[in-house]
Amino acid sequence: MRIRYKKWARPELEASPFYIDNPEDWKGKWKTFFKNPEQPLQLELGCGKGTFISQLASENTDINYIAIDLVDAMLGLAKRNIESVYNEKNLEISNVVLTRFDIARILLIMDKKDEIERIYINFCNPWPRGKHRKKRLTHSIQLDKYKEFLVPQGEIYFKTDDDDLFESSLKYFEDSGFEIINKTYDLHSNPIFEKNIETEHEIMFTKQGIKIKALIAKKL
């Protein structure tokens, strides 16, 4: 999703206690950032405007979350969304952190000592052109990187509106040694995914009559 430059985003992020601008310095020690470092740690790749992570983290305060995006404007909106949701629920923002980084280079900021238990990938760029497909966040190249810091039996939750990306991703997960433990071609009609939290893309595509595809994969 393209988004206009927002001049307020960078200053607000730099002033925020739950934004990290130097994620490379936290490699292998992300748990120590949080007020309750003993809690499980989960990761959202490409958090966008933060609609998903703000709801997920505020509903699960016994889990710590890292949300990554590459665009300051997106992260600025995510920050404001998190603040709004937590304020509404009268909660302290102590279990979520935002950071800016290129996910293709994620092994520069994560390793096995971080013990990530779950990764969320929601409506990532489908990169439909053949020569660009290796940029997909679910491509085998990326999945092999995630395996470096996912715990044994760690999970990846993936959602998309794109048929080709979904079918290709099923193959990517298989090739990378993941087990698909749940999948659906119509997320909103599948009771297995009844606790689904909608993203801004999901709401938009659903209104257009596009069925949402989703899967849960486990690291073997």
DSSP string, 181-205: EEEES-GGG-GGGTT----HHHHHH
Q: What is the pLDDT of residues 63-95, one digit of tens each?
A: 999 999 999 999 999 999 999 999 999 999 999
pLDDT at 66: 98
Residue 163 in 3-state DSSP? helix
What are the chain's domains? 9-219 (3.40.50.150)
Q: Read off the pLDDT of each residue in 205-213 and give the average, rounded to a whole number.
A: 95
When pLDDT is cut at 50, 70 and 90, the band that residue 6 belongs to is confident
Contact 178, 157 (CB under 8 A): no
What pairs with residue 214 in β-bridges?
159, 184
pLDDT at 130: 84
d(CA 112, CA 115): 6
Global pTM? 0.96
List of residues 6+ apart from 61 with CB closer than 8 A: 91, 94, 95
> What's the alpha-carbon Rg for the chain, to the nearest Å?
17
DSSP string, 34-59: SSSTTS-EEEEES-TTSHHHHHHHHH
When pLDDT is cut at 50, 70 and 90, the band that residue 1 belongs to is low
Q: What is the pLDDT of residues 92-146, one digit of tens each?
A: 999 999 999 999 999 999 999 999 999 999 999 999 988 899 999 999 999 999 9
Q: Read off the pLDDT of each residue in 12-38 and give the average, rounded to a whole number.
A: 97
Average pLDDT of the chain is 96
Q: What is the pLDDT of residues 148-159, one digit of tens each?
A: 999 999 999 999
Which H or E run includes 78?
Answer: helix 72-88
